Amino acid sequence: MRVGLRAYNARMEDLVTILQSGTVLVMDGAMGTELLRLTGSSSLGRGEAYNLERGDLVRSIHQSYLDAGADVILTNTFQANPAALATCDLVEHHHEIWQAAIGLAHLDHPRPRYILADIGPIENLTSKIAEDTLAECVDVDAILLETWSSPGALKRFVDRRHPASLPLLVSFTFHRSNDLLTFKGISPEHCAREARRYGAAAIGANCGKEIGINDMLEIVKRYRDVCDLPILVRPNAGSPTRKGWRYPRTPATMAAALPALLEAGIAMVGGCCGTTPDHIRRFRLVVDEWNRSKGLPA
């Protein structure tokens, strides 16, 4: 089945071409908080283990985002790296978890889509860990380094990949002190310059501590001031209350804020923590209207 699906996607333009075309793509929403919501759990544990233990549930979440209108879905591999898996006695299942995750993302669905191999931040990143993680990224359209705080990590992955391998996208997470900075104290401008220098195919911002849509808008504008890379954003649905992990930003509220981000020049928009298929459904409507207004495919 997977060979057929990749052949189907081969008839689409490659992801980098689309990102540079002006057409805005819709990404999926959260995986971890959806697993919490659907299982009624208060603690997820290692969400990547669900690829082996509850593949049906992971697949259903991918399905729900595609049904809602997502063009781009992320594999359930945010912390599926050897360093993180070693902390919960799963490192021997590293290859199985990745194989399962990529298989679960390849759905027999009528909507054409792009699949990104999702790689979250890695403590004590070594060249060997980067190489081992990159080796698992097969049968996807691109790699997304997500929720990173230092562009130096991008260089480590660039140094370990084959020159002809998949495009790398990188998304940083910020918090506001006196300024918007990553948790390593790095500005959006520096992140953008370094991402451009290391050959990233796109730069983004996602998640973040107490980061609102206006903050995301500022980050996008500051990226745009210093580089011409396609930009992606994946904001949280606010900060959760502990009781039931409820997130305050509704689909309607977040969708109403999208036009300003579109005007600022984003190429992809999706959701991070707390966003649901209902958020993505609302995003789809706004993005379709935007693309049509620019004479672009909706």
What CATH number does the domain containing 151 carry? 3.20.20.330
Q: Is the pLDDT of residue 3 over 70?
A: no
Angle made by CA atoms 69, 19, 223, in degrees to the nearest 5 = 110
Which of the two residues, 271 and 46, has the higher pLDDT score? 271
Residue 209's domain spans which residues? 2-291
At 126, list the tokens.
Answer: 């070594």
Indicate the pTM of the whole model. Answer: 0.93
Spatial CB neighbours of 49, under 8 Å, sequence gap ≥ 6? 88, 90, 93, 97
Which of the two residues, 284 and 178, has the higher pLDDT score? 284
Q: Is the pLDDT of residue 186 over 50?
A: yes
Predicted pLDDT of residue 9: 47
In a domain, 296, yes or no: no
At 62, list the tokens.
Answer: 């991918």
Percent of the chain past pLDDT 90, that is, above it, reads 73
Percent of the chain past pLDDT 70, that is, above it, reads 93
Band of residue 228 on the pLDDT scale cut at 50, 70, 90? very high
Q: Is the pLDDT of residue 188 over 80?
A: yes
Helix axis angle, 32-39 relative to 55-68, nearest 10°? 110
In a domain, 242, yes or no: yes
In a domain, 118, yes or no: yes
Q: CA-CA distance, 275 to 16, in Å (whole number)?
A: 25
Band of residue 1 on the pLDDT scale cut at 50, 70, 90? very low
Mean pLDDT of the chain: 91
Predicted pLDDT of residue 159: 87
How many domains does one find in the chain?
1
Convert the pLDDT of each residue in 234-277 to its tens digit: 999 988 876 656 889 999 999 999 999 999 999 999 999 999 99
Average pLDDT over residues 158-168: 81
Indicate the residue type of 119.
Answer: I
Predicted pLDDT of residue 4: 33
Q: What DSSP state is assigned to residue 138?
A: -
Q: CA-CA distance, 203 to 180, in Å (whole number)?
A: 16
Band of residue 124 on the pLDDT scale cut at 50, 70, 90? confident
Predicted pLDDT of residue 163: 60
Band of residue 41 on the pLDDT scale cut at 50, 70, 90? confident
In a domain, 84, yes or no: yes
Band of residue 164 on the pLDDT scale cut at 50, 70, 90? low
Predicted pLDDT of residue 7: 35
Element (H, E) at 208: none
Which of the two residues, 42 and 87, has the higher pLDDT score? 87
**Could you identify the residue written with the tokens 């900060």?**
239
Angle made by CA atoms 161, 26, 107, in degrees to the nearest 5 = 70
Element (H, E) at 197: helix 188-197
In a domain, 218, yes or no: yes
Which of the two residues, 127 and 192, has the higher pLDDT score? 192
Strand pairing of 180-182 and 202-206?
Answer: unpaired
Predicted pLDDT of residue 189: 98
Predicted pLDDT of residue 8: 36
Neighbouring CB atoms inside 10 A of 241's CB total 10
Residues in a beta bridge with 246:
241
Band of residue 165 on the pLDDT scale cut at 50, 70, 90? confident
In a domain, 298, yes or no: no
Q: CA-CA distance, 22 to 30, in Å (whole number)?
A: 25
Residues in a beta bridge with 117:
143
In a domain, 152, yes or no: yes
Band of residue 11 on the pLDDT scale cut at 50, 70, 90? very low
Q: What DSSP state is assigned to residue 294?
A: T
In a domain, 297, yes or no: no
